[in-house]
């Protein structure tokens, strides 16, 4: 019998590690990247490929944040519909962002192949599953909007939907063949290994304490050292710590937890997502469902599990599994973990240039695997050429989101009540 406990599955199954200590001296590089997640490592990789010297400062370990703890969906587009993106940003800017993020899964899988990254990558698509008629109507709208833009998407219904999802509780599912799944920690560590192979320096356990301009360089200080650099990339997202930057005041923090079973086998397990897609449903407080390479069932939802007793988390997982996949019977759950998401009120990211030579980003809204990869490349191109056209959206001015704390508390309270209702079988 496995002891159910807190541990990130992706850390457990990613055996390669980055072996580097903290910055403990004064060093000089062309570019200093703050944050050892997907965005920062993607930027570092592209800068190194163009001959720049680069170091990465990570406050904890590579992949510690959302980059290594997410569901592992390689999604196309943003959280909101493409028509809404263009309505919010304007037709020209919105169209540009839709095009870039629509092609982002292909870029992720190309990077994986080019650098030989071992991360359970599967380019078999994703399934957005309608849990009721309103959800189905939403998916019909998404299908029409993406098809109008030439995307390879298809709304599955009836027998095809049941075959792909492995449950009769779904009325329809939008199959996005551009997308796929990865082990996100494996992908992040793979990017870091590629950075070190190209001569980049990675300093772990090196939280930034200060960022200042001195003469012709930016000086990035840590507790035990400092980096002098011509350019700086800030890519810390929801895990931004300290008072050295205003980035953390431009989003509100949300949480997402996941629960993983022991590896499953047998006819009932084999029916679940039999074609290899990752999925999530259309509930307001959504549930994500996927399998990993060893046959585990992974369930997730918005909110924290780290502040709840194990019995509560297990009860929630039993409820979701029992609803969608009752044929499995009693499932043994192995681990659960929680990660942070940087949300914005309109569910669109923000990129900033707080000073010449410094770029920053926040607000991926749960789409970091693809968005981080392309934004990292775009930042590298911008810093190399000083060309705003390299960016998928224009820079915006930093503006403190004064309701950030209230929003975070309100969302978490709502998610907790919803999950309690699911456990008590009041709602699903």
pLDDT for the residue numbered 417: 86
Structure tokens at 160: 């095809």
Domain ranges of the chain: 5-423
Phi, psi at 22, each rounded to 5°: -80, 155
Mean pLDDT by 10 residues, the chain (428 residues): 90 94 97 98 98 98 96 97 98 98 98 98 98 96 98 98 97 98 98 98 98 95 97 96 91 96 97 97 94 98 94 96 96 97 96 97 96 98 95 93 84 82 78
Alpha helices in 198-309 (DSSP H): 267-270
pLDDT for the residue numbered 330: 95
Q: Which fold has domain 5-423?
A: FAD/NAD(P)-binding domain (3.50.50)
pLDDT for the residue numbered 421: 82
pLDDT for the residue numbered 135: 97
- Using CB atoms within 10 Å of the CB of residue 408, give its burial: 0 to 12 exposed, 13 to 18 middle, 19+ buried: middle
Report the greatest alpha carbon distance in the chain. 67
Which residues lie below 8 Å from residue 148, measured CB to CB, with a gap of 6+? Answer: none
pLDDT for the residue numbered 1: 57
- Helix (H) / strand (E) containing 145: helix 133-148
pLDDT for the residue numbered 405: 85
pTM of the model: 0.96
- Identify which of 327, 269, 267 has the alpha carbon closest to the alpha carbon of residue 295: 269
- Identify which of 25, 8, 109, 105 has the alpha carbon closest to the alpha carbon of residue 335: 8
pLDDT for the residue numbered 420: 79
Structure tokens at 86: 């263009």
């Amino acid at each position: 019998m496995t002891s159910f406990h807190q541990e990130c599955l992706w850390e457990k199954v990613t055996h390669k590690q980055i072996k580097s200590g903290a910055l403990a001296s004064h060093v000089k590089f062309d570019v200093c990247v703050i944050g050892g997640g997907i965005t920062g490592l993607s930027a570092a990789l592209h800068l190194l490929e163009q001959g720049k010297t680069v170091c990465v400062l990570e406050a904890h370990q590579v992949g510690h944040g959302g980059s290594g703890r997410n569901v592992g969906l390689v999604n196309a587009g943003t959280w909101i519909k493409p028509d809404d993106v263009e309505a919010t940003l304007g037709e020209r800017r919105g169209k540009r962002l839709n095009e870039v993020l629509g092609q982002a899964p292909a870029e992720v899988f190309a990077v994986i192949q080019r650098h030989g990254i071992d991360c359970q990558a599967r380019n078999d698509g994703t399934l957005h599953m309608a849990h009721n008629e309103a959800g189905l109507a939403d998916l019909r709208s998404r299908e029409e909007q993406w098809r109008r833009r030439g995307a390879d998407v298809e709304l599955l219904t009836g027998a095809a939907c049941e075959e792909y999802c492995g449950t009769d509780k779904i009325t329809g599912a939008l199959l996005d063949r551009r997308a796929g799944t990865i082990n996100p920690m494996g992908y992040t560590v793979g990017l870091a290994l590629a950075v070190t192979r190209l001569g980049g320096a990675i300093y772990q356990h090196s939280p930034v304490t200060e960022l200042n301009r001195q003469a012709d360089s930016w000086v990035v200080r840590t507790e035990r050292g400092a980096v002098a650099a011509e350019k700086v990339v800030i890519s810390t997202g929801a895990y931004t710590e300290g008072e050295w930057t205003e980035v953390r005041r431009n989003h509100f923090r949300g949480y997402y937890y996941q629960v993983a079973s022991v590896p499953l086998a047998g006819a009932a397990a084999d029916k679940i997502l039999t074609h290899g897609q990752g999925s999530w449903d259309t509930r307001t407080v959504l549930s994500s469902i996927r399998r990993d390479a060893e046959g585990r069932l992974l369930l997730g939802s918005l909110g924290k599990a780290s502040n709840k007793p194990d019995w509560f988390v297990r009860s929630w997982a039993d409820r979701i599994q029992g609803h969608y996949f009752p044929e499995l019977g009693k499932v043994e759950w192995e681990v659960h973990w929680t990660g942070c998401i940087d949300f914005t009120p309109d569910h669109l990211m923000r990129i900033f240039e707080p000073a010449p030579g410094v770029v920053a980003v926040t607000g991926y809204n749960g789409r970091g695997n693809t968005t981080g990869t392309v934004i990292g490349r775009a930042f590298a191109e911008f810093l190399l050429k000083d060309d705003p056209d390299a960016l998928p959206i224009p820079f915006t001015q930093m503006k403190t989101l004064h309701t950030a704390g209230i929003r975070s508390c309100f969302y978490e309270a709502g998610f907790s009540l919803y999950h309690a209702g699911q456990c008590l079988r009041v709602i699903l």
